[in-house]
Amino acid sequence: MSTIVRKLISTANAAKPVAPYNQAVVADRTVYVSGCLGLDKNTMQLVPGGPTEQAEKALENLQAVLKAADSGVDKVVKNTVFLKDLNDFGAVNEVYKRVFNKDFPARSCFQVAKLPMDALVEIECIALTGSVETKTVQ
Protein backbone atom coordinates (compact mmCIF):
# COMPACT_ATOMS: atom_id res chain seq x y z
CA MET A 1 0.00 0.00 0.00
CA SER A 2 1.41 3.41 -0.94
CA THR A 3 1.82 6.18 1.61
CA ILE A 4 -0.39 9.25 1.39
CA VAL A 5 1.47 12.44 2.19
CA ARG A 6 -0.04 14.89 4.67
CA LYS A 7 1.40 18.39 4.10
CA LEU A 8 1.02 21.12 6.70
CA ILE A 9 0.68 24.50 4.98
CA SER A 10 2.02 27.72 6.45
CA THR A 11 2.51 30.98 4.58
CA ALA A 12 3.59 34.44 5.70
CA ASN A 13 1.27 35.85 2.99
CA ALA A 14 -1.82 35.26 5.15
CA ALA A 15 -2.72 35.88 8.77
CA LYS A 16 -1.31 33.28 11.13
CA PRO A 17 -3.67 30.95 13.03
CA VAL A 18 -5.06 32.37 16.27
CA ALA A 19 -5.14 28.95 17.97
CA PRO A 20 -3.35 25.58 17.67
CA TYR A 21 -4.14 24.67 14.06
CA ASN A 22 -2.50 24.97 10.63
CA GLN A 23 -3.56 27.38 7.92
CA ALA A 24 -4.25 24.33 5.76
CA VAL A 25 -3.53 20.64 5.47
CA VAL A 26 -3.12 18.85 2.15
CA ALA A 27 -3.98 15.15 2.15
CA ASP A 28 -3.16 13.54 -1.19
CA ARG A 29 -4.68 16.08 -3.64
CA THR A 30 -7.26 17.58 -1.28
CA VAL A 31 -6.65 20.89 0.50
CA TYR A 32 -8.46 21.61 3.75
CA VAL A 33 -8.16 25.33 4.53
CA SER A 34 -8.87 26.35 8.12
CA GLY A 35 -11.28 29.18 8.77
CA CYS A 36 -9.88 32.51 7.60
CA LEU A 37 -10.77 35.68 9.44
CA GLY A 38 -10.52 39.28 8.26
CA LEU A 39 -7.15 39.67 9.98
CA ASP A 40 -4.36 41.92 8.78
CA LYS A 41 -1.37 39.56 8.49
CA ASN A 42 1.03 42.20 9.82
CA THR A 43 -0.89 43.35 12.89
CA MET A 44 -2.96 40.20 13.52
CA GLN A 45 -5.91 42.50 14.22
CA LEU A 46 -9.29 42.49 12.50
CA VAL A 47 -9.40 45.05 9.71
CA PRO A 48 -11.42 48.18 10.50
CA GLY A 49 -14.92 48.40 9.11
CA GLY A 50 -17.73 45.92 9.01
CA PRO A 51 -18.60 42.60 7.41
CA THR A 52 -17.68 43.76 3.90
CA GLU A 53 -14.12 44.71 4.87
CA GLN A 54 -13.66 41.60 6.98
CA ALA A 55 -14.96 39.37 4.16
CA GLU A 56 -12.56 41.01 1.69
CA LYS A 57 -9.59 40.38 3.99
CA ALA A 58 -10.73 36.85 4.88
CA LEU A 59 -10.94 35.98 1.18
CA GLU A 60 -7.53 37.58 0.57
CA ASN A 61 -6.09 35.37 3.33
CA LEU A 62 -7.90 32.32 1.93
CA GLN A 63 -6.44 32.92 -1.54
CA ALA A 64 -2.92 33.24 -0.10
CA VAL A 65 -3.27 29.94 1.76
CA LEU A 66 -4.65 28.22 -1.35
CA LYS A 67 -1.69 29.52 -3.38
CA ALA A 68 0.75 28.20 -0.76
CA ALA A 69 -0.95 24.81 -1.10
CA ASP A 70 -0.54 24.86 -4.92
CA SER A 71 -4.25 25.46 -5.39
CA GLY A 72 -6.53 28.40 -6.16
CA VAL A 73 -10.13 29.60 -6.11
CA ASP A 74 -10.72 27.78 -9.41
CA LYS A 75 -10.04 24.48 -7.61
CA VAL A 76 -12.28 25.05 -4.58
CA VAL A 77 -15.02 22.44 -4.29
CA LYS A 78 -16.72 23.60 -1.05
CA ASN A 79 -16.79 26.78 1.01
CA THR A 80 -18.31 27.29 4.42
CA VAL A 81 -19.08 30.86 5.46
CA PHE A 82 -19.74 31.68 9.10
CA LEU A 83 -21.42 34.98 9.94
CA LYS A 84 -22.01 36.62 13.29
CA ASP A 85 -25.22 38.07 11.83
CA LEU A 86 -27.06 36.48 8.91
CA ASN A 87 -28.36 39.95 8.03
CA ASP A 88 -24.85 40.52 6.63
CA PHE A 89 -25.40 37.75 4.05
CA GLY A 90 -26.07 40.16 1.15
CA ALA A 91 -23.04 42.37 1.84
CA VAL A 92 -20.72 39.37 2.24
CA ASN A 93 -22.18 37.74 -0.87
CA GLU A 94 -21.28 40.83 -2.95
CA VAL A 95 -17.63 40.46 -1.89
CA TYR A 96 -17.71 36.67 -2.27
CA LYS A 97 -18.94 36.77 -5.87
CA ARG A 98 -16.05 39.05 -6.89
CA VAL A 99 -13.66 36.22 -5.94
CA PHE A 100 -15.83 33.23 -6.86
CA ASN A 101 -17.26 34.55 -10.14
CA LYS A 102 -17.65 31.42 -12.29
CA ASP A 103 -17.89 27.65 -11.91
CA PHE A 104 -19.09 28.25 -8.37
CA PRO A 105 -18.11 25.77 -5.66
CA ALA A 106 -20.67 24.26 -3.32
CA ARG A 107 -21.27 26.49 -0.29
CA SER A 108 -22.96 26.64 3.07
CA CYS A 109 -23.51 29.79 5.11
CA PHE A 110 -24.41 29.87 8.79
CA GLN A 111 -25.07 32.41 11.49
CA VAL A 112 -23.09 31.46 14.59
CA ALA A 113 -23.20 32.69 18.18
CA LYS A 114 -19.59 33.91 18.23
CA LEU A 115 -16.46 33.80 16.10
CA PRO A 116 -12.82 33.98 17.22
CA MET A 117 -11.65 37.49 18.14
CA ASP A 118 -15.29 38.59 17.89
CA ALA A 119 -14.98 38.54 14.08
CA LEU A 120 -18.02 39.12 11.89
CA VAL A 121 -17.00 36.68 9.12
CA GLU A 122 -15.00 33.45 8.86
CA ILE A 123 -14.53 31.42 5.67
CA GLU A 124 -13.09 27.92 5.28
CA CYS A 125 -12.83 25.72 2.22
CA ILE A 126 -11.96 22.39 0.70
CA ALA A 127 -10.07 22.50 -2.59
CA LEU A 128 -8.04 20.32 -4.95
CA THR A 129 -4.45 20.54 -6.14
CA GLY A 130 -2.85 19.55 -9.42
CA SER A 131 -4.56 19.46 -12.78
CA VAL A 132 -8.31 19.84 -12.40
CA GLU A 133 -10.86 19.72 -15.20
CA THR A 134 -14.27 21.28 -14.56
CA LYS A 135 -17.29 19.76 -16.28
CA THR A 136 -20.88 20.88 -15.95
CA VAL A 137 -23.42 18.06 -15.83
CA GLN A 138 -27.13 18.73 -16.23
Interval 81-122: pLDDT, tens: 999 999 999 999 999 999 999 999 999 999 999 999 999 999
User: The pTM is what?
Assistant: 0.96
36 CB-side CA count, 13 A: 30
> What mean pLDDT is predicted for residues 27-54?
97
Alpha carbon distance 138, 128 (integer Å): 22
Whether pLDDT at 49 is above 90: yes
pLDDT of amino acid 102: 93
Per cent of the chain over pLDDT 70 is 100
> What mean pLDDT is predicted for residues 59-81?
98
pLDDT of amino acid 75: 98
Phi and psi at residue 119, to the nearest 5°: -65, 160
**DSSP code of residue 86:** G
Q: Is 125 an annotated catalytic residue?
A: no
> What mean pLDDT is predicted for residues 50-73?
98
Domains along the chain? 6-128 (3.30.1330.40)
Catalytic residue, from 89, 109, 124, 129: name it: 109
